[in-house]
C-alpha cells in the first residue's frame, strides 16, 4: 500500500491512532501477511507528522505481533501462524474448515489407549529423582527389550527419538550430504519432501503400484546415483499401499544388483494400527537398512516417540549427535510407552483400533462403489481418491461440509491433468459414511 493511500485511511495521527489503523487493515485483509509497509519517513511525510510518531506506531505494532522490522529491508505485516509451517505442510493446512474434517491424517482420539492409568503406574514405579543420568543409555532397558522382540529384523542398535519425521531427519543427516540424491515415493509424505529440500538433498521420484515401489523405477533411481531410498513399508501415506513380501525380495535384488552403496530408510509410521504384514527389507539386506517405527498413530501423537533400528555405524553416530541437542527422549515417556505395550487393556485398545480402521476403509470403499467410484481399500487411516479436477473437487466438498487434503503437496513430480485428494477415513464415523461417499463421488466427477 502506497504512503498516500495509507495516510488517507488514518483519521487519528497519534502513534496509537496510526497503529490502530494498520491493525484494522490487517484484520480486514486489506493488508496481507508479507505486505511491506511504507518507510517511516515516507509515511510521516504523507501524514504531516514527525518520523518519531510513525516509529512509535511501528514499535507498538511490532510489540503486538502484527508487523516485523528487518532493518533496511523495511517493515512488513507478520505472517500468521501458518507461516511457520514448511511449504507442503502449509499447503495441506490451507483447506477451509468443514463440519466433517477428514483432512488431518491423525488417528481417532477415541481409539487411542487411555494414558491415565499408564501415567499413574509409571509414577508409582519410577522415581523421578532416580532417573538415569546424562551419559547413560538413551533407551530404557524395558522398552528396548520390547522393541527387539517385535522388530522385523535383528538390528545391531536401537534407539528412540521424538517422532517419525525427527527420526528420518536424524538418519538422513548421518547417511547423506548436501546435494546427494535421495529416492522417494511419488506420491509420498509431504513433510518428508519438505525435509529433503531443507537438507539440500535432490529428490528422485520413484512411482509405486499396488505392491509398493516399482523395481524398474528403483533401478533407474540407483543408476542415477541415489545415496538413499526412503520408503513406507506399510499403510503408505497417502495411498494405503503396503509392501508385499514378493515385492520386498524384488527390491532387495535390485539393491544388490546396484553399486551397493545406497541406504534404505523405512518409515513404518502406522506401526501397530496397520493390518498388513510387517515386511522390511532389513530381513534381506540388513547392513543397508534403517527401520523407523512410530507410535504416534497407535498410542498417541503427544508421546512423540519413534524407535529407530539398524546398523551400528548409523545409530551410534545418531545417538552421539543427539547428545549435542536434546540428549535423549524423555525416559519417563519411554516408561509410559513400555507400560502401554504390555498392559492388557492398552494392547486390546490398539487391536480394537486396528479393526475399526480396517472396517472404516472398507465401509467407505463399499459406499463409493454404490456411486460408481471403485477404489481399492488400503491399509491404515488414509484413502487416496482420484478426481477429475482437484480444485473443483475441493470446492464441491467444501459446499458439502466435508474437508479433505489436497493431493498436490504429496507429489514430487506434478501429476498429470486431473488430481487426487486424501481422505482420512480413520476419523470417519459410521453415521457419516453415506453422506461422505456421495460427496466424494460428486467431487470426483467431471
Q: Please write the tens of the pLDDT for every residue from 11-26.
A: 999 999 999 999 989 8
Sequence length of the chain is: 446
Quick check: 94 pLDDT over 70? Answer: no
Which residue in 105, 429, 163, 114 sits closest to 292, CA to CA?
Answer: 163
Render pLDDT for 104-153 as a digit per residue (tens, 0 to 9).
899 999 999 999 999 999 988 876 545 567 788 899 999 999 999 999 99
Mean of per-residue pLDDT scores for the chain? 92
Tell me phi and psi for residue 180, to 5 degrees.
-65, 155
Contact 305, 337 (CB under 8 A): yes
Residues pairing with 184 in the sheet: 205, 230
Q: Which residues contact 320 (CB under 8 A, 6 or more apart)?
A: none
| Beta strands 212-213; 226-231: pairing state | unpaired
Measured CA to CA, the distance from residue 167 to residue 269 in angstroms comes to 11
Q: Above 70 in pLDDT, residue 93?
A: no
pLDDT at position 178: 95
Interaxial angle between packed helices 344-369 and 433-444, expressed in degrees from 0 to 180 and rounded to the nearest 10? 50
Average pLDDT over residues 222-248: 97
Cell output for 128: 523421578
Mean pLDDT, residues 209-214 taken together: 96
Torsion of CA 31, 34, 39, 43, to 10 degrees: 0
CB atoms within 10 A of CB 175: 22
- How much of the chain is in helix, strand and coil states, percent to nearest 5? 50, 15, 35
d(CA 369, CA 383): 14
Question: Average pLDDT, stretch 185-209?
Answer: 95
Which domains are present in the chain? Answer: 3-79 (1.10.10.10), 84-111+347-444 (3.90.1150.10), 115-342 (3.40.640.10)
Q: Which pLDDT score, from 0 to 100, does residue 129 have? A: 46
Q: For 340-391, how does the pLDDT look when each residue is reduced to its tens digit (9 = 90+)?
A: 999 999 999 999 999 999 999 999 999 999 999 999 999 999 999 999 999 9
Greater confidence (71 vs 76) lies with 76
DSSP H helices, 228-302, are: 245-257, 296-299
CA distance linking residue 331 with residue 143, whole number of Å: 10
Q: What is the CA radius of gyration of the chain?
A: 25
68 HSE (CA, 13 A, CB side): 9
The answer to whether the beta carbons of residues 308 and 161 sit under 8 Å apart is yes
Residue 425 in contact with residue 105, Cβ under 8 Å? Answer: no
Phi (first) and psi of residue 110, to 5 degrees = -75, -15
Cα(first)–Cα(last) distance of the chain, in Å?
A: 40
Amino acid at each position: 500500500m502506497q504512503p498516500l493511500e495509507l495516510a488517507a485511511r488514518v483519521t487519528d495521527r497519534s502513534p496509537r491512532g496510526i497503529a490502530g489503523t494498520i491493525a484494522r487493515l490487517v484484520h480486514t485483509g486489506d493488508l496481507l501477511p508479507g505486505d511491506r509497509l511504507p518507510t517511516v519517513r515516507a509515511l510521516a511525510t504523507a501524514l504531516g507528522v514527525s518520523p518519531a510518531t510513525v516509529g512509535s506506531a511501528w514499535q507498538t505494532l511490532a510489540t503486538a505481533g502484527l508487523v516485523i522490522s528487518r532493518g533496511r529491508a523495511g517493515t512488513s505485516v507478520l505472517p500468521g501462524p501458518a507461516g511457520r509451517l514448511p511449504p507442503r505442510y502449509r499447503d495441506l493446512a490451507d483447506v477451509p474448515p468443514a463440519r466433517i474434517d477428514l483432512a488431518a491424517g491423525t488417528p481417532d482420539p477415541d481409539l487411542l489407549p487411555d494414558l491415565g492409568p499408564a501415567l499413574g503406574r509409571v509414577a508409582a514405579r519410577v522415581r523421578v529423582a532416580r532417573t538415569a543420568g546424562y551419559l547413560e543409555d538413551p533407551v530404557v532397558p524395558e522398552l528396548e527389550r520390547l522393541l527387539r522382540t517385535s522388530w522385523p529384523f535383528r538390528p545391531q542398535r536401537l534407539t528412540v527419538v521424538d517422532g517419525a519425521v525427527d527420526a528420518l531427519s536424524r538418519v538422513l543427516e548421518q547417511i547423506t550430504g548436501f546435494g546427494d540424491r535421495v529416492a522417494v515415493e511419488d506420491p509420498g509424505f509431504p513433510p518428508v519432501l519438505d525435509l529433503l529440500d531443507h537438507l539440500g538433498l535432490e529428490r528422485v521420484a520413484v512411482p509405486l503400484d499396488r505392491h509398493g515401489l516399482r523395481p524398474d523405477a528403483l533401478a533407474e533411481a540407483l543408476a542415477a546415483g541415489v545415496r538413499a531410498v526412503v520408503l513406507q513399508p506399510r499403510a503408505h501415506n497417502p495411498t494405503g499401499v503396503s509392501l508385499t513380501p514378493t515385492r520386498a525380495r524384488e527390491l532387495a535384488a535390485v539393491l544388490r544388483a546396484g553399486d551397493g552403496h545406497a541406504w534404505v530408510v523405512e518409515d513404518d509410521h502406522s506401526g501397530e494400527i496397520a493390518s498388513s504384514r510387517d515386511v522390511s527389507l532389513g530381513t534381506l539386506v540388513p547392513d543397508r537398512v534403517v527401520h523407523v517405527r512410530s507410535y504416534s498413530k497407535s498410542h498417541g501423537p503427544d508421546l512423540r516417540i519413534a524407535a529407530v533400528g539398524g546398523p551400528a555405524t548409523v545409530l551410534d553416530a545418531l545417538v552421539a549427535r543427539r547428545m549435542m541437542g536434546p540428549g535423549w527422549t524423555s525416559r519417563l515417556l519411554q516408561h509410559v510407552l513400555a507400560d502401554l505395550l504390555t498392559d492388557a487393556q492398552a494392547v486390546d485398545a490398539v487391536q480394537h483400533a486396528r479393526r475399526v480402521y480396517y472396517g472404516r476403509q472398507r465401509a467407505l470403499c463399499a459406499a463409493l462403489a454404490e456411486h460408481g467410484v471403485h477404489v481399492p481399500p488400503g491399509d491404515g487411516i488414509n484413502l487416496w481418491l482420484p478426481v477429475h479436477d482437484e480444485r473443483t473437487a475441493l470446492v464441491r466438498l467444501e459446499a458439502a461440509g466435508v474437508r479433505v487434503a489436497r493431493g498436490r503437496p504429496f507429489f514430487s513430480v506434478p501429476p498429470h491433468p486431473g488430481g487426487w485428494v486424501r481422505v482420512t477415513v480413520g476419523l470417519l464415523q459410521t453415521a457419516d459414511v453415506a453422506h461422505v461417499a456421495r460427496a466424494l463421488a460428486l467431487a470426483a466427477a467431471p
